[in-house]
């Protein structure tokens, strides 16, 4: 993943969803629910032509992603 990609993740300590760009130490935004956090995360990624990655609340693994800009792994055929 490239620096600047946006991750939407659950913060168990604070009890909310947040967006964070790779390479940053602080969250870009915080939200009460995943839908709002995901929408904002996708907007952030779209604005800079990077990738958005959504994580599961249970184990923090990536379960959704979308690339904005040049796709490093475009679909075949």
Does some domain include residue 60?
yes
Contact between 19 and 7 (Cβ < 8 Å): yes
Does some domain include residue 33?
yes
**Structural domains in the chain (count):** 1
Q: Residue 23: what pLDDT?
A: 94
Does some domain include residue 34?
yes
The pTM of the whole model exceeds 0.85: yes
Q: Residue 40: what pLDDT?
A: 98
Tell me which residue of 17, 18, 75, 22 sits closest to 48, measured CA to CA: 22
| Residue 77 to residue 8: CA distance in whole angstroms | 30
Identify the domain containing residue 21 by its residue range: 6-67
Does some domain include residue 76?
no
Does some domain include residue 74?
no
- Counting as low any pLDDT under 50, the low residues of the chain are 1
């Amino acid at each position: 993943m490239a620096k600047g990609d946006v991750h939407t993740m659950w913060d168990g300590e604070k009890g909310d969803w947040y967006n964070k760009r790779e390479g940053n130490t602080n969250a870009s935004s915080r939200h009460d629910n995943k839908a709002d956090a995901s929408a904002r995360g996708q907007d952030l990624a779209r604005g800079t032509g990077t990738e958005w990655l959504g994580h599961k609340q249970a184990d923090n693994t990536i379960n959704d992603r979308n690339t904005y800009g040049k796709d490093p792994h475009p679909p075949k055929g």
